Chain A
Amino acid sequence: MGMLSKIATGILTLIVIASVFAPFLTEYNPVKIDLNSLKEPPNFRHLLGTDNKGRDILSRILYGGRFSIGIALIAGIFSLGIGLAVGLLSGYYGKKIDMALMMFVDLVLSFPSLLLAIGISVLFSTGIFTVIIAITAVSWASFARLIRGHVLSLKEQPFIDAARAIGCSDMRIILAHILPNCLPLSFVVLGLKLGGYILTESALSFLGLGVQPPMPTWGSMISLNRVYISSAPWMVVFPGLAIMIAVICFNIIGDALKDRDYITK
């Protein structure tokens, strides 16, 4: 799989760079309506065609990538942060703290995650932050559970006893000794999950609960354009391909990281 994961990394880097530098790569404004070029099939001026309001699909996909990948990344980092905090506390202190925290984690995990995310997005007004909150709320728990397990096994190792023997405080043991040992595992798992977050984000925007139009995201492009699927299939096909390629790349990279070192040990 070595070759495959290299290709995936390359493609993903390309997608990210293209999204970040979207304004320099495309001359079209992703939200500006152009009545002179409605529903054009892919051609040389509009490589991936235009939508029902004459907006260039390629430019919308590039700008949409900023939201889709950005939201997934931020939500992933938030989830990881919360998961680390809960997992470290729970695993290190054990007993009642552990029981209380893990009960809460189990509670969150027992909900069907997409439905919980939908429920949370409905509570707040729609927007970028709501999507981030929704994805974080459904995904921190699995991090917490995993890190707790890892802390439990780390805690028994001699170097922690040594640290305690030379008089380190609990705080110092957690932050300076246990946390760094949790990080490699955390980042591998984060890599495995980012693809899923992109899917959740696009599912939420598909249902109209994500970033609101006219701002483009991959999910909302599919959702808004799906009524035109018979007359202008390119309007739906390309955003979906974008999601698929990005998520496949994330998953391949995540798998490669996992095989390479951590989890199997």
Chain B
Amino acid sequence: MLKGELGRSYYTQRDVAQDIMEKFPNTIRLAFGAMIIAVPFGIMLGFISVTNKGKFFDRLASIIAVGGISLPVFWIGLILMYFFALELKWLPPSGTGDIRFIILPAVTLSLPALASIARVARTTMLDIAEQPFIRTARAKGLNEWNILLKHVLKNALIPLITVIGLDFGSYLNGAVLTETIFGWDGIGRFMMEGIIKRDYPVVMGCLLTGTSAFVLINVVVDVLYHYFDPRVRINGNAK
């Protein structure tokens, strides 16, 4: 196993390691695609909530966020497919391929992450916005955007990076449902087929790849903490 030998599939007799090497990049691409959509929009929803705290737009943003974690992914995927692929014929309905193929599954996959990012962004940024140094910044006469971006967002980055890392990590484990609906040739679908056919080498190989990726992402997140928050750096060195 240390040599990268994961055995052969019971059914296709193909080398599992090789299959995973072919499929894992697709999963990575999909996960990246989803995150590129989820991160900016999630943070933007958080901003909307903070600047309009308690008002209509805050509530609207909260409802969108609750909606995002409440949507059945497979259903919203089908609906998107129906509108954009079958009715409007803008995008291909399913398959693996270039940028046009990735849009629909990435949007579908991004919704839950978008929602969780928005929720975390809202709670942490509201917390920070009430702290004295924000009042100081406002008293200095900085404009709202400056305060939001440089002071509030920067301090909210740690929890945000944590959620983003967790979501990204779980996407790397394969988005089973999204990949199934859109026929995306990734590791999640590969693994699910493996589970259903009891093709153990496939399952083990996918699990190994997925968990390794997850651990790797967590390490990266920890390193990012150091980068973004000097407090972590100092405490770490003092130990």
Contacts and interface: CB of A to CB of B under 8 A. Distances in A.
Interface of A: 1, 4, 110, 112, 114-115, 118-119, 122, 195, 199, 202-203, 206-207, 219, 222-223, 226, 229-230, 233, 236-237, 239-240, 243-244, 247-248, 250-252, 255
Given A236-B75, A244-B72, A118 B176 contact: yes
Interface in B161-190: 170, 173-174, 176-177, 180, 188
A160 B66 CA distance: 39
Given A115-B192, A236-B78, A251-B66, 20 more contacts: A1-B59, A1-B62, A112-B173, A115-B176, A118-B192, A118-B195, A122-B198, A195-B69, A199-B72, A202-B72, A202-B74, A206-B177, A207-B176, A207-B177, A230-B82, A233-B82, A236-B82, A248-B70, A250-B70, A251-B70
Nearest to B175: A114
9 contacts: A115-B188, A118-B192, A118-B196, A119-B203, A199-B72, A202-B72, A207-B192, A223-B74, A236-B82
Contacts of B78: 222, 226, 229, 236, 240
B17 to A, nearest CB: 20
B189 to A, nearest CB: 11
| Top 10 A-B residue pairs of the complex, sorted by shortest distance between their CB atoms | A240-B75, A247-B70, A248-B70, A112-B173, A243-B72, A230-B86, A229-B82, A206-B74, A119-B195, A251-B66
Interface residues of B, number: 33
B49 to A, nearest CB: 13
B82 A114 contact: no
Contacts of B220: none
B81 A229 contact: yes
Nearest to A240: B75
A4 B63 CA distance: 10
A229 B75 CA distance: 11
Contact of B211 (A110, A203, A236, A248): A110
B118 to A, nearest CB: 13
Contact of A244 (B59, B71, B196, B198): B71
Contacts of B67: 244, 248
Interface in B66-121: 66-67, 69-76, 78-79, 81-82, 86
A229 B83 CA distance: 10
B86 A203 contact: no
Interface of B: 59, 62-63, 66-67, 69-76, 78-79, 81-82, 86, 170, 173-174, 176-177, 180, 188, 191-192, 195-196, 198, 203, 210-211
Contacts of B174: 112, 115
Nearest to A8: B66
